[in-house]
Copies of this chain bind each other. A is one copy, B any other.
């Protein structure tokens, strides 16, 4: 009964390597109403732009991988040279809020403002029109989808409703998933943050390889999401290189940036896998 997603050139699956380049922005957002003074997590997150990003760019170059970087506008303002460097190496850049604002905590006008402002920042830095979007914290609302449409956004990459591209409110959706995210295995911060006992990197890579094989079996999209401040540590990058080596030997993969995935999806799957976000207000009323 279920229909397989069709990939170009008889490929069996697709691989997209993506980075949510958040740096300190989620910390600033989360604490926006607090009079915080401690700089522990703030500095921990600065490891991303200071060291991790260069290592990651080198690794991608070595393995000839074009990745997609989702970058909050605020982070681009703090690190303009890095943004230019990412762009110059032909990686894709996507929007990711201005200050990593959770869209379910702000109103429609604020969502739109963050997108317009961030687009302008990237245009000034790179000359390019950014048309990809991933929501901060992977949370999204109907209002956001409305804003995306009128902002000429080509695709969203925040949801988990399929494990291959689909449509959400007539926008191409390039699905993520928690088990292909680095923070669920690695993130540890002090104080009150959500933390886990850091996993052994080789175990994480083994788990990711299993999911890759599963996605290949079912014709899906291996959308890996990493955060430079988290995955940029030496042991994690060495394990990641092990994964790249493994994947690069597989001839059945279509390697793509998110933009390429979205364009392909638009051309090839116009009438399939169309979903519409629920009208949550009505749903709340009827069930509440």
Q: Which residues of chain A have a CB within 8 Å of any CB of chain B?
A: 1-2, 28-29, 31-40, 42-44, 46-47, 50-51, 54-55, 57, 85, 99, 102-104, 137-143, 158-163, 168, 177-179, 184-186, 188-191, 195-203, 206-207, 210-211, 213-218, 220, 233-239, 275, 277-278, 280-281, 283-284, 287-288
Q: Can you give 9 A-B contacts (C-beta < 8 A)?
A: A1-B57, A40-B140, A50-B161, A178-B189, A184-B188, A185-B198, A210-B235, A214-B237, A215-B234
Contacts of A31 in B (CB 8 A): 284
Residue of A36, A197, A281 ringed by the most chain B CB atoms within 10 A: A197
Chain B residues with CB below 8 A from A211, complex form: 233-235
Q: Please state if A178 and B198 are interface contacts (CB–CB under 8 Å).
A: yes
Closest to A99 in B: B287
User: CB-nearest residue of chain B relative to A238?
Assistant: B214
* A229–B140 CA distance with the chains assembled, in angstroms: 19
Known: A190-B139, A210-B238, A218-B234. A278 touches B35 (CB 8 A): no
- When the two chains form their complex, are residues A140 and B284 in contact, meaning their CB atoms are under 8 A apart? no
Residue contact B238 to A40, C-beta cutoff 8 Å: no
Q: Which residues of B contact A190 (CB under 8 A)?
A: 137-139, 178
Measured in the bound complex, the distance between the Cα atoms of B273 and A50 in whole Å is 9
* Residue in chain B with minimal CB distance to A194: B195
| New A-B pairs, 14, CB < 8 Å, besides A39-B280, A184-B195, A214-B237 | A1-B85, A2-B51, A28-B283, A29-B287, A40-B140, A47-B160, A47-B162, A47-B163, A51-B162, A163-B234, A198-B207, A211-B233, A214-B234, A216-B234
CA distance A35 to B206 in the complex (A): 40
Asked if residues A234 and B220 are in contact (CB atoms below 8 Å), the reply is: yes
Judge whether B280 and A36 touch: CB under 8 Å: yes
- Nearest CB in chain B to that of A34: its residue: B284
A48 and chain B: residue at smallest CB distance: B161
Cβ contact within 8 Å between A50 and B234: no
> Are the CB atoms of A38 and B140 closer together than 8 Å?
yes
Picked from B44, B55, B99, B203, the residue with its CB within 8 Å of the CB of A200 is B203
The answer to whether A200 and B207 have CB atoms under 8 Å apart is: yes
The reply to whether B50 and A162 form a contact with Cβ atoms under 8 Å apart is yes
Given the interface pairs A188-B178, A211-B233, A234-B214, the reply to whether A141 lies near B200 with Cβ below 8 Å is no
B residues in contact with A142, CB < 8 Å: 37, 39
For A159, list chain B residues within 8 Å (CB): 39-40, 43-44
Q: How far is the CA of A1 from the CA of B50 in the complex (A)?
A: 11
Verify A287–B28 contact, CB threshold 8 A: yes
Known: A140-B39, A160-B44, A284-B34. A197 touches B200 (CB 8 A): no
Q: How far is the CB of A40 from chain B (nearest CB, A)?
A: 5
